[in-house]
């Protein structure tokens, strides 16, 4: 009887998971054509957002991606990442020079205070930052003269191909400092901070890809010091993007550049104890399916973008099926409205919007 009830429960859970997953689908949006991978997209709410690309362009929408307006075109700039504190104040990071051709802009970070209409270089103290790959912003609540106030902490990491640097501001982006990360890793690709002190960064150990291993770093002092909590055992690997649907459960993609085409397993890693330990899993067996972005609706239902397709799971990664996220889906951002409804956007060669069926 107990065995029967267990099977019945598993069947019910499986049906519910599939039904829940079928409530969501990805819709390709109409955007300006771009040859190659576009790297980041950010929405301050379900309607207002921005995306960037390697042509030095920043786009804005006020209607959930139905139409886009170009706000900036800066030739010689390769915009790599973008994030906003509110609908006026935001930051855009660049990959810097000496990595992609025809890139001449050596300024790592720009700031806007008018919703993206104008952008100005961010000045910082510390070692020169060659480039950035990701930005994360923490909104801190505090009591200000008997009323609730907010302070923003901005964190940025980079870059692909090295060197490894970290930028941080604890005063709403009015001042920044940089921290040399070379003693911890060779390059940084993504960052997720839970509060102003604790967070994780995805990284790689070696500047030469044939001697590189994917790794995850953990900080409990706002990025002043870091501890390695995961390192892969295979060379030719880097850890690309992070996503925590809950404080305890997190996922990160692993990119493999192994030239041996008989090595077909593509991996990702998962933590279920808040990042203390990470376990490797197989996403698929496809040499060409190099992993990029990752995003989850909850602990069970999520997505990973790869070079040639997207993948979806409804059971926390126990199994994956293909879903259309376009090619090289690099960043997946999933959030909730004030009423709890989910909304999300994904960017790669194209831009997709997560839609919820009625």
What is the arithmetic mean of pLDDT over 294-311? 97
What is the arithmetic mean of pLDDT over 24-50? 96
pLDDT at residue 18 greater than cutoff 80:
no
Instruction: Return all residues near 4 (Cβ < 8 A) that are at least 6 apart.
Output: none
Q: Give the model's confidence band at 22: pLDDT under 50 very low, under 70 low, under 90 confident, else very high.
A: low
Reduced to 3 states, what is the DSSP secondary structure of residue 335? strand
pLDDT at residue 290 greater than cutoff 90:
yes
pLDDT at 23: 79
Structure tokens given for 177: 């400092």
Q: Are strands 187-193 and 199-204 parallel, antiparallel or unpaired?
A: antiparallel
What is the arithmetic mean of pLDDT over 13-28? 64
Q: Tens digit of pLDDT for each residue in 256-283?
A: 999 999 999 999 999 999 999 999 999 9
**Tokens 């107990």 sit on residue:** 2
pLDDT at 3: 53
| Structure letter (DSSP) for residue 35 | S
pLDDT at residue 7 greater than cutoff 70:
no
**Tokens 């006026």 sit on residue:** 88
Q: Tens digit of pLDDT for each residue in 209-245?
A: 999 999 999 999 999 999 999 999 999 999 999 999 9
pLDDT at residue 16 greater than cutoff 60:
no
pLDDT at 321: 97
What is the arithmetic mean of pLDDT over 346-358? 91
Cross-strand partners of 187: 204
Instruction: Return all residues near 113 (Cβ < 8 A) that are at least 6 apart.
Output: 88, 89
- Give the lowest-confidence range in 10-14, 27-31, 281-285, 351-355: 10-14
CA distance linking residue 74 with residue 110, whole number of Å? 12
What is the arithmetic mean of pLDDT over 55-60? 98
Average pLDDT, rounded, for the chain: 93
Read off the CATH number of the domain in which 253 is found: 2.130.10.10
The count of structural domains within the chain is 1
Q: Give the model's confidence band at 5: pLDDT under 50 very low, under 70 low, under 90 confident, else very high.
A: very low
Alpha carbon 156 to chain centroid, angstroms? 12
Q: Tens digit of pLDDT for each residue in 108-158?
A: 999 999 999 999 999 999 999 999 999 999 999 888 888 888 999 999 999
Percent of the chain with pLDDT over 70: 93
pLDDT at 9: 42
What is the arithmetic mean of pLDDT over 13-17? 45
Domain assignment of residue 285, given as a range: 2-356
pLDDT at 142: 86
Please choose, from the candidates 142, 152, 80, 77, the residue with its C-alpha nearest in 3D space to the C-alpha of residue 113: 152
Q: Tens digit of pLDDT for each residue in 170-224?
A: 999 999 999 999 999 999 999 999 999 999 999 999 999 999 999 999 999 999 9
């Amino acid at each position: 009887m107990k065995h029967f009830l267990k099977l019945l429960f598993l069947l019910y859970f499986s049906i519910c998971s599939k039904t829940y997953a079928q409530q969501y689908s990805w819709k390709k949006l109409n955007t300006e054509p771009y040859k190659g991978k576009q790297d980041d997209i950010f929405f301050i709410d379900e309607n207002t957002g921005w995306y960037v690309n390697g042509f030095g362009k920043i786009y804005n929408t006020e209607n959930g991606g139905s139409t886009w307006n170009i706000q900036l075109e800066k030739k010689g700039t390769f915009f790599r990442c973008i994030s906003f504190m509110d609908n006026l104040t935001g930051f855009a990071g660049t990959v810097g020079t000496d990595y992609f051709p025809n890139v001449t802009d050596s300024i790592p970070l720009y700031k806007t205070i008018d919703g993206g209409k104008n952008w100005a270089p961010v000045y910082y103290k510390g070692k020169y930052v060659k480039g950035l790959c990701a930005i994360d912003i923490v909104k801190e609540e505090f009591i200000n003269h008997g009323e609730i106030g907010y302070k923003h902490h901005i964190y940025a990491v980079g870059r692909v191909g090295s060197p490894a640097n970290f930028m941080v501001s604890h005063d709403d982006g009015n001042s920044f400092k940089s921290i040399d990360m070379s003693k911890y890793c060779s390059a940084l690709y993504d960052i997720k901070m839970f509060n102003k002190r604790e967070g994780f960064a995805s990284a790689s150990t070696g500047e030469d890809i044939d001697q590189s291993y994917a790794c995850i770093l953990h900080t409990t002092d706002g990025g002043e010091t870091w501890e390695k909590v995961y390192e892969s055992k295979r060379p030719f690997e880097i850890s690309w993007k992070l996503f925590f649907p809950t404080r305890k459960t997190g996922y990160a993609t692993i990119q493999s550049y192994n030239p041996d085409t008989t090595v077909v397993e593509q991996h990702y890693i998962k933590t279920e104890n808040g990042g203390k330990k990470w376990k490797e899993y197989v996403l698929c067996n496809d040499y060409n399916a190099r992993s990029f972005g990752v995003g989850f609706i909850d602990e069970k239902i999520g997505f990973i973008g790869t070079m040639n397709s997207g993948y979806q799971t409804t059971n926390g990664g126990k199994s994956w099926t293909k879903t259309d996220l376009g090619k090289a889906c690099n960043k997946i951002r999933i959030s909730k409205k004030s009423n709890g409804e989910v909304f999300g956007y994904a960017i790669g060669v194209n831009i997709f919007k997560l839609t919820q069926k009625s």
